[in-house]
Amino acid sequence: MLNYYDPSQHRPDPNQDLGTPARLSEKQIALTIDGLEISVPEGTSVMRAAALAGITIPKLCATDNLEAFGSCRLCAVQIEGRRGYPASCTTPVSEGMDVTTQNGKLAKLRRNIMELYISDHPLDCLTCPANGDCELQDMAGAVGLREVRYGFEGANHLDAPTDDSNPYFSFDASKCIVCSRCVRACEEVQGTFALTIDGRGFDSKVAAGQDEDFMDSECVSCGACVQACPTSTLMEKSVIDQGVPEHSVVTTCAYCGVGCSFKAEMKGDQLVRMVPYKGGDANHGHSCVKGRFAFGYATHKDRIKTPMIRDSINEPWREVSWEEAIQFSARRLKEIQAKYGRESIGGITSSRCTNEETYLVQKLIRAAFGNNNTDTCARVCHSPTGFGLKTTLGESAGTQTFDSVMKADTILVIGANPTDAHPVFGSQMRRRLRQGATLIVADPRRIDLLKTPHGGHMLHLPLRPGTNVALINSLAHVVVSEGLEDQAFIEARCESGAYQAWRDFILEERNSPEALEAVTGVAAEKVREAARAYAEVHNGAIYYGLGVTEHSQGSTMVMGIANLAMATGNIGREGVGVNPLRGQNNVQGSCDMGSFPHELPGYQHVADPAVRDRFEAVWKVKIDDEPGLRIPNMFDSAIAGTFKALYVQGEDIAQSDPNTQHVQAALTSLDCLIVQDIFLNETAKYAHVLLPGSTFLEKNGTFTNAERRINRVRKVMPPVAGKEDWEVTQDLANALGYPMNYSHPSEIMDEIALLTPTFTGVNYAKLEQQGSIQWPCNDSHPDGTPTMHEVDFPIGKGHFAVTEYVPTEERTTRRFPLLLTTGRILSQYNVGAQTRRTANSQWHDEDVLEIHPSDAELRGIRDGDWLGVSSRVGHTVLRCRISDRMQPGVVYTTFHHPGSGANVITTDSSDWATNCPEYKVTAVQVEKVSQPSRWQQNFQDFDRRQKDYLENASADEPAPMGK
Amino acid sequence: MSGQGLDQLVKMVNQISANMHGATDEQAADKVATHLQKFWARSMKAQILAYADDGGEDLTPISRKAVEKLREVRAAG
């Protein structure tokens, strides 16, 4: 007998559609299908059981990422002892059941059903975009449909219009069979509920929003409906244009920290479409508008295809060979070190590049530059997570898998906006909220998660920007003072001295919600309600984002969160935990790989001689025992004249870092700036060497997502300039006289595994076999570690840290009476270099300033007005959007477009422990204006000039062809 | 480094002092000194030590104590 129990839903072939979702009951039910005995978990449908037994039952409205619906009736079967022809998708198995899936009666029934479907369906199969990839076509073949007796003359939908409004897919209503798969995907998978079936009976049709165009509806273009559609009704425009792909490669998305797995579906070396991969452990076959559709930047005309150099940023670029660009860079770096000293140069690793590439850049800096002046863009997003979690829990990483949220009873989201910034995980959260979990959101803005359709109990704590620590302290005060602590956990798992000190501190009356109400702006009773909702349930899970870290007390807040989780025993099992939602695809990985100036890979401090010994033995070079400069310190030192050269891989500090004018001054002070990127980004406009980067489609490697999951990135097309990014770093090291001889990223990973105790068991062969690995992966956890801290902490006992609330110095004054906070939106990604070069800009073509109606009225401002926004460091102009998502006194914007100058206003204020910039709090004034700011005018001039320098780049010699 | 760079370092060390908790000022200063030793670059440590030598007038009392402890830590090697 075949036995099927699959606790992991995707272990059956992820490319096969088993018709209905897996059931995880441990009780096995035995039945017979077409004479074959099989045993499956209780609750499994007859359809799925048959598919597992290798028997295919025809189907149209069923697919295994949606609950069974039973509308098409094509999957009818006969069951011994039961009347009629039950639908196998909606019929659960029962003990001893005897099922027949094929006989004359069933064949006739199915043919008749298909005949009815086809009588109202165009017969243009040969010219249909779904030709060769159409379930309706397949089923017509499977049931042996040979004629349609009804003719095509009667009432039909063959002239129904096509909705082409979405830039990525079209909706051709004439091809629709009203199976509801799209509607159900929008509800069950995505959770947006944008689609519905309008009308009844023969008039039934799929409608977006209030019967609007897709673009005008609340559709978020995640693509779940397109994927679910069994016909060509919902179809990618790229497939309509190019035809059905011929091969596919599984790889990992290079957008946010969710790290979705996709099948890159190809024709030769052309990418036709990205389809979310059901076997992906982070996304289970779901996607968002960025990963699913916004890949056109990879072949955009703006791609840098040739290495370029110049002596000054006030002259045009010169196109040169790789060899010359690398030699030029090495020469300049050596000259500068000879003149200004070993510590006068440094580099920045990328959170967008692979682990292997990041590892190599920091190795280049430590081994070939001979100093520790390495940092990464995580400095400006999650460095407080590293510091805070390492101090309290002993490891700089989130504690859970994404799937863990499905066991959470209360979900506490602090300073994060998952439906926009981590959309696929946002959808999973919403799934759990629809099952009844309680949601608490601590955020100055009313984020969309609070509007989850059919969600359970929801509580919003709209705190004032900059008062996170006051809020977390008051939540903890309620937990302790109302006796909601998990004493058993604390006694067994936490350091008692530190705990007592923390407990005494948190119990002080000044930490009560009543005392802090005036500070946070959140009613004490609401804080008490939230604390109880988190602490009184079995499983409370905390998710947080940059609204926690990007503050002057970012590190303190991270520790406050860890304190709260430990005090309530919400650590060390599924459904609980402390989870930083990482912004970029490989923020976790870039931190793991030793990008920070004080830590070698695996968070091993450079001052530890034993650690250095191990690295020195493998790297065959002496490693500096002092930490190097962090990004903001590099800028300060550049302006002071002691820091002279910088190598930046895949990071746009000129746009993403705060206080733009300060950053520009620093970059202009450098004697040599080497930028490796796929476009002429803002930073590259200040560069002397521009090395073409490769996209994630053009290289091999790994990314590590927010749940510590190491996923393979696989090359599907050759790099446009001939080299993967790691090869460029390797060439530079060799030119500097430090030999590197890797022939494939897998060899780099082997070296990482050799030197990083949490990666000992990681290698490409295991990644192929397991699909993905969550570190730590070593002798004690050979297959990886989905849930951290189950038995103990890496530091032994958990450490409670006293979290005194120290208000930020950035506060409102009469001159700057409003607080500006910044964030992200769904369709754009970070600095927008990628997404702005796709049709995603149709959703967001400029950054706007959101302001509360009462603040707007006070200033005589109307929607769409140009607003001058000033802080103590700068001034810019943005268009106004009046929004009651904001609280009075708080304004909000994004920095996806460089010309907006959002970071011209943000200041040098930063986290006390890590210098992570305080993007979330800037005191500003807002007023109506009629022209761009002076910075913006200068920006436009500079931008125009630099683009001219690129367009007029001279070629001294033939451009290099490939490697 | 001078001017703005140095101002920034002074601001940073004072901010660390304001956020580091200790039962006594002595303990807090110990923690601040450890933090500086662990996270600051060689050049930054040298500058703050030189600044303290010159009087270090804008250092808060805990910062001043911490910088002196940093000097001891570094002297001890």
DSSP labels, A598-650: TEETTTEETT-HHHHHHHHHHHTS---SS----HHHHHHHHHHTS--EEEEES
Measure in Å the smallest separation between the Cα of B25 and chain A Cα atoms: 15
Q: At what angle do helices B42-53 and B61-76 cross, to 10 degrees?
A: 120
Q: Are A353 and A649 in contact (CB under 8 A)?
A: yes
- The pair of structure tokens assigned to B2 is 């001078």
CATH number of the domain where residue A89 is located: 3.10.20.740
Binary contact (A806, B43; C-beta < 8 A): no
Is residue A423 located within the same domain as residue A541?
yes
Q: Pick from B2, B27, B32, B44 the residue to mutate for testing the A interface (most A CBs within 10 Å).
A: B44
Inter-CA distances, A166 with A219, A263, A273, Å: 10, 22, 15
Phi, psi of A937 (to 5 degrees): -65, -45
Q: Which of the listed residues A556, A580, A604 is the one where a domain comes to its end?
A: A580
Q: How far, in Å, CA of A723 to CA of A736, rounded?
A: 18
- Name which of A2, A161, A191 is nearest A93 in CA terms: A2
Q: How far, in Å, CA of A539 to CA of A570, rounded?
A: 7
Residue A756 included in any domain: no
Measure in Å the smallest separation between the Cα of B56 and chain A Cα atoms: 19
Is residue A374 located within the same domain as residue A425?
no
Q: How far, in Å, CA of A702 to CA of A713, rounded?
A: 5
- Name which of B44, B41, B67 is nearest A625 in CA terms: B41
Q: Which residue of B has its CA nearest to A636?
A: B5
For CA atoms A588, A590, A591, A594, give the dihedral sign: positive
Is residue A70 located within the same domain as residue A85?
yes
Q: Collapsing DSSP states into helix, strand and coil, what is residue A342? A: helix
Residues of A in contact with B42 (CB under 8 A): 343, 626-627
Q: How far, in Å, CA of A699 to CA of A456, rounded?
A: 43
Phi, psi of A557 (to 5 degrees): -65, -40
Q: How far, in Å, CA of A652 to CA of A70, rounded?
A: 51
Host domain of residue A829:
818-930
Return the number of other C-beta atoms located less than 10 Å from residue A563's C-beta.
Answer: 30
Residue A392 included in any domain: no
Q: Which of the listed residues A709, A742, A775 is the one where a domain comes to its end?
A: A742
Q: Are B41 and A626 in contact (CB under 8 A)?
A: yes
pLDDT attached to residue A5: 62
Low pLDDT (below 70) residues in chain A:
1, 4-11, 956-963
Binary contact (A372, B41; C-beta < 8 A): yes
Residues of B in contact with A908 (CB under 8 A): 8
Burial of A617 (0-12, 13-18, 19+ CB in 10 A): exposed
Residue A800 included in any domain: no
pLDDT attached to residue A8: 53
Residues of A in contact with B40 (CB under 8 A): 627
Q: Enumerate residues 6+ apart whose C-beta is below 8 A from A560.
A: A468, A469, A472, A473, A476, A803
Phi, psi of B34 (to 5 degrees): -60, -40
Residue A776 included in any domain: no
Is residue A223 located within the same domain as residue A353?
no
Question: What share of residues in chain A are helix, strand, coil (percent, to 5)?
Answer: 35, 20, 45
Three-state SS sequence of A62-86:
CCCCCCCCCCCCCCECEECCCCCCC
Q: How far, in Å, CA of A354 to CA of A715, rounded?
A: 12
Is residue A356 located within the same domain as residue A410?
no
Out of A505, A555, A640, closest to residue B5 by CB? A640
Strands (E), A10-115: 28-33, 36-41, 78-79, 98-100
Q: Enumerate residues 6+ apart whose C-beta is below 8 A from A410.
A: A437, A438, A439, A440, A533, A534, A537, A539, A540, A541
Binary contact (B15, A597; C-beta < 8 A): no
Q: How far, in Å, CA of A906 to CA of A911, rounded?
A: 14
- The pair of structure tokens assigned to A955 is 């070629």
Out of A343, A598, A640, closest to residue B39 by CB? A598
pLDDT attached to residue A956: 62
Beta-carbon pairs below 8 A across chains A and B: 67
- Name which of A710, A715, A716, A711 is nearest A699 in CA terms: A715
ipTM: 0.95
Residue A120 included in any domain: no
What residue ranges do the domains of chain B occupy?
A: 4-76
Q: How far, in Å, CA of A956 to CA of A190, rounded?
A: 53
Chain-centre distance for alpha carbon A196: 28
pLDDT attached to residue A824: 86
Is residue A351 located within the same domain as residue A406?
no
Q: Does B72 touch chain A (CB under 8 A)?
A: no
Instruction: Classify the phi-psi angles of A197: left when phi > 0, otherwise alpha if psi is within -120 to 50, otherwise beta.
Output: beta
Q: Pick from B2, B4, B8, B49 the residue to mutate for testing the A interface (most A CBs within 10 Å).
A: B8
Torsion (CA) A595, A596, A600, A604 in degrees, nearest 10: -140
Give chain A's length.
963
CATH number of the domain where residue A590 is located: 3.40.50.740
DSSP labels, A132-151: TS-HHHHHHHHHT----TT-
Domain count for chain A: 5
What is residue A367's DSSP assignment?
Answer: I
- The pair of structure tokens assigned to A229 is 């559609």
pLDDT attached to residue A1: 67
Is residue A433 located within the same domain as residue A573?
yes
Is residue A632 located within the same domain as residue A721?
yes
Q: Which residue of A has its CA nearest to B16?
A: A912
Strands (E), A147-260: 162-163, 169-172, 195-198, 205-208, 234-236, 247-252
Phi, psi of A950 (to 5 degrees): -75, -45
Which amino acid is present at A243?
G
Binary contact (B12, A553; C-beta < 8 A): no
Q: Enumerate residues 6+ apart whose C-beta is below 8 A from A115.
A: A145, A147, A148, A149, A150
Q: Are A403 and A432 in contact (CB under 8 A)?
A: no
Is residue A182 located within the same domain as residue A290?
yes
Q: Are A347 and A364 in contact (CB under 8 A)?
A: yes
Phi, psi of A230 (to 5 degrees): -85, -5
Q: At what angle do helices B4-19 and B61-76 cross, to 10 degrees?
A: 100
Q: What is the mean pLDDT of residues B4-31?
A: 91
Q: Enumerate residues 6+ apart whose C-beta is below 8 A from A200.
A: none
Q: Collapsing DSSP states into helix, strand and coil, what is residue A206? A: strand
Q: Which of the listed residues A530, A557, A580 is the one where a domain comes to its end?
A: A580
Binary contact (A552, B8; C-beta < 8 A): no
CATH number of the domain where residue A422 is located: 3.40.228.10
Q: Are A456 and A438 in contact (CB under 8 A)?
A: yes
pLDDT attached to residue B4: 55
pLDDT attached to residue A13: 87
Strands (E), A699-853: 701-704, 709-713, 772-774, 818-823, 848-851
Q: Collapsing DSSP states into helix, strand and coil, what is residue A717? A: coil
Residue A307 included in any domain: no
Out of B5, B15, B18, closest to residue A636 by CB? B5
Check pLDDT > 90 for residue B1: no
- The pair of structure tokens assigned to A368 is 């070939």
- The pair of structure tokens assigned to A719 is 């790099």
